[in-house]
Amino acid sequence: MSSEHQRLAGFLWSVADLLRGSYKQSEYGRVVLPFTVLRRLECVLEPHKPAIIEKRDELKAKGIENQERQLLSFVRPLGLSFFNESSLSLTRIVGSETDEHVIARNLRTYVGGFSSTAADIFEHYDFTNQIARLEKSNLLYQVAGRFAEVDLSPERVSNHQMGYLFEELIRRFSEISNETAGEHFTPREVINLMVKLLLSPDEAELFIPSKVFTVLDPACGTGGMLTAAEDFITEHNPNATVKLFGQEMNPESYAISRSDMLIKGETADNIKLGNSFTDDRHAAQSFSYLLANPPFGVDWKQARGEVEAEHENKGYRGRFGAGLPRINDGSLLFLQHMIHHMRTPEEGGARVAIVFNGSPLFTGGAESGESNIRRWILENDWLEGIVALPDQLFYNTGISTYFWILSNKKDPAHKGRVILLDAREEWEKMRKSLGDKRKLIPDDRIAELQKLYVNALSEAESDPRVKVFRPRDFGYRRITVERPLRLRFEVTEEALAELEANKTLAKDTDLRDKILAALRPLAGREPIYGRADFDATLKAAYADAGLTGIPTSVTKQVWNAVSVSDPEGELQKDKKGNVLPDPDLRDYENVPLDEDIHAYLEREVLPHVPDAWIDESKTKVGYEIPFTRYFYKYTPPRPLEEIDAELKELEGEIQKLLGEVTE
């Protein structure tokens, strides 16, 4: 970080000291960030302001009221994508007036003079309300005056430096606002590692002169990932053209991200406001690189109608054809959305990186929405790798997290291979915790992990932190193992109580009472192990009670009540002579895709239950990625002698303490 950068960041940060007492720490950014944007835009426009005002007056003289289109056309050759048609400036506003009310009125007029490309940013910063709040606290003159003093002109601060400066402010404000930081800000080292793993395999491609790269983050927050991706590409190829695109549903984060683009001289209109699930603002576009850190376990209940309609009506032509996850976790919806926006291999292909918690790895059984999405990704050979990260990396959660990296342009050496990289121990403890963030990944570990991952793409890797699998290795068949139904028959008090509470019988209480009266004399007798024998006993009891014409549905309920599963009971068959399964003995097994299910049954099941069989009509195919199982290391229990010695030592210490108390 340059001394100029430090000086400016320190100066702007010091403005926050003026807010102390009137604003909470978590609210400082709501004032400092929009004022920083305002001053930067003002400094950029300053050399061109006289010409813009002259053009405004010229258009007005011609009777043109809606001047935005003409003024934008006027400033574009000057390298600008925005304008301000007001004659005011921060210096003029605070230089000629100290009355808070007048300053507030003039400042609102000044901000209202921006073109819609910039005005939209201040609207979503809720800047008008911040002006009113500062006015009420008698702080507006001081804050506006401080910003009027700082020189943020392009000659003094380049677009690149301005981007870093703004990013530094965002980081600082996010870190002191622990309750919201995790939602809208991803730690710098996490972004750094993610971007390196996403882009490093394409390093040769990045050097192509005048290459155009498009990057999308559909949950862009404050835009940190987009900025990091751009930095990585331009460091390798200063002549590359990088076009950044994003979408964000939180208005303040959207404003920050859009401001970042604007103050760096980029196309702010590429950052869109809205819910990516229900309002895809980049619907017709595809991208070279896609990366995101969507909220963990995000509920998509509000988007349910639109998402389900797209799934059912468009199938694979839409974004969610592979399946829908549980309503309380839309993580895999984000991933499907990103896959939909990948450039096709014919267009040059694309790569995706996304941050997940552990849930998308294994949640959902065979043929569930989650499993079907994993199956679709793996069977298309898009999954390139998964990296397990240390816990306690993020501001608002201490849970374990993972990078998923996908590619539809795998090198021949990596086709049909999936890398699992275990980076859970690659961390250092922070000197000071920030919310739930207690760990960080240092730069040297990031470089090491980057090298490990890239090497594993093209050659065998012997490092124990890396394992390589085929996509099919994550697939399995879920088989249903049945065992024969064997029954004995008896009337018990439990059976009578069950019939008395039966809903079918409750519809005809007179019939129910007669059946119970007929069966009650049979209670307590020895069980009967033959269905035909019990049927004869049952019919005799009905005859003695004068019962005839019992409906089939009632007869079925009686048999259900008096039938008891018993390994010594009679084997039950249907009318075609097929052995009936016992639902209470039903079991399920997951068998790897490449293993014969009957060989598995013979080896794993039949030695224990020789009468079992597989109901193949119920077999399902599922996919899961049990990451931790693959890297599990057995730790033997401590020797009993060691534990016993420790207990005796503790016992001695306790006795000593008790002795001191009683003295």
Give me the CATH topology for the region 4-174: Ferritin (1.20.1260)
In the block, residue with structure tokens 């000044």: 110
Task: Report the pLDDT averaged over residues 256-272.
Answer: 87
Tell which wins on pLDDT, 44 or 4: 44
Would you say residue 159 has pLDDT above 90? no
Highest mean pLDDT among 266-270, 292-296, 344-348, 501-505: 344-348
pLDDT given at position 266: 83
pLDDT given at position 653: 85
DSSP 601: I
pLDDT given at position 663: 62
Per-residue model confidence as pLDDT tens digits over 511-568: 899 999 999 999 989 999 999 999 999 999 999 988 888 898 899 999 999 999 999 9
For all residues of the chain together, what is the average pLDDT? 91
Would you say residue 132 has pLDDT above 60? yes
Model confidence band, residue 388 (pLDDT cutoffs 50, 70, 90): very high
Would you say residue 184 has pLDDT above 50? no
Model confidence band, residue 179 (pLDDT cutoffs 50, 70, 90): very low
pLDDT given at position 589: 96
- Among 183, 136, 182, 184, CA closest to 33: 184
pLDDT given at position 165: 80
Burial (CB count within 10 angstroms: exposed 0-12, middle 13-18, buried 19+), residue 566: middle
Map residue 490 onto helix, strand or coil: coil
| CB-CB contact of 420 with 163 (8 Å) | no
User: Under the phi-then-psi rule, with left for phi > 0, alpha for psi from -120 to 50, and beta for the rest, what region is 236?
Assistant: alpha
User: Under the phi-then-psi rule, with left for phi > 0, alpha for psi from -120 to 50, and beta for the rest, what region is 283?
Assistant: alpha
Tokens of 364: 């959902």
Tell which wins on pLDDT, 585 or 2: 585
Would you say residue 641 has pLDDT above 90? no
Residue type, 448: E
pLDDT given at position 96: 78
In the block, residue with structure tokens 């068998």: 591
Tokens of 343: 């450039």
Per-residue model confidence as pLDDT tens digits over 229-259: 999 999 989 889 999 999 999 898 899 889 8
Angle between helices 116-124 and 100-112 (to 10 degrees): 130
- Among 484, 480, 482, 483, CA closest to 588: 480
pLDDT given at position 662: 66
CATH 2.40.10.220 fits 182-296+329-469, yes or no: no
Would you say residue 223 has pLDDT above 50? yes
Tell which wins on pLDDT, 262 or 368: 368
Would you say residue 340 has pLDDT above 60? yes
pLDDT given at position 180: 46
pLDDT given at position 139: 95
Would you say residue 175 has pLDDT above 80? no
HSE-up of residue 542 (Cα within 13 Å, Cβ side) = 15
| CB-CB contact of 483 with 609 (8 Å) | yes
CA 190 – CA 185 distance, rounded (Å)? 11
27-41, 139-153, 171-185, 210-224: least confidently modelled range: 171-185
Would you say residue 185 has pLDDT above 70? no
CA 436 – CA 612 distance, rounded (Å)? 50
- Interacting residues of 245 by C-beta distance below 8 A, sequence separation 6+: 214, 215, 216, 217, 226, 270, 271, 272, 282, 285, 287
Map residue 600 onto helix, strand or coil: helix
pLDDT given at position 140: 96
Domain residue limits, the chain: 4-174, 182-296+329-469, 486-571
CA 275 – CA 313 distance, rounded (Å)? 20
HSE-up of residue 383 (Cα within 13 Å, Cβ side) = 29
pLDDT given at position 177: 61
Residue type, 163: G
Map residue 409 onto helix, strand or coil: coil
Per-residue model confidence as pLDDT tens digits over 72-116: 999 989 888 899 999 999 999 998 778 999 999 999 999 999 999
Angle between helices 3-19 and 140-149 (to 10 degrees): 170
Model confidence band, residue 183 (pLDDT cutoffs 50, 70, 90): very low
| CA distances, 410 to each of 351, 420, 523 (Å) | 9, 16, 72
Would you say residue 639 has pLDDT above 50? yes
User: Under the phi-then-psi rule, with left for phi > 0, alpha for psi from -120 to 50, and beta for the rest, what region is 297?
Assistant: left
Q: What percent of the chain has pLDDT above 70?
A: 97
Per-residue model confidence as pLDDT tens digits over 598-637: 999 999 999 999 999 999 999 999 999 999 999 988 788 8
Would you say residue 167 has pLDDT above 80? no
- Among 360, 390, 385, 350, CA closest to 229: 350
CA 323 – CA 326 distance, rounded (Å)? 10
pLDDT given at position 181: 41
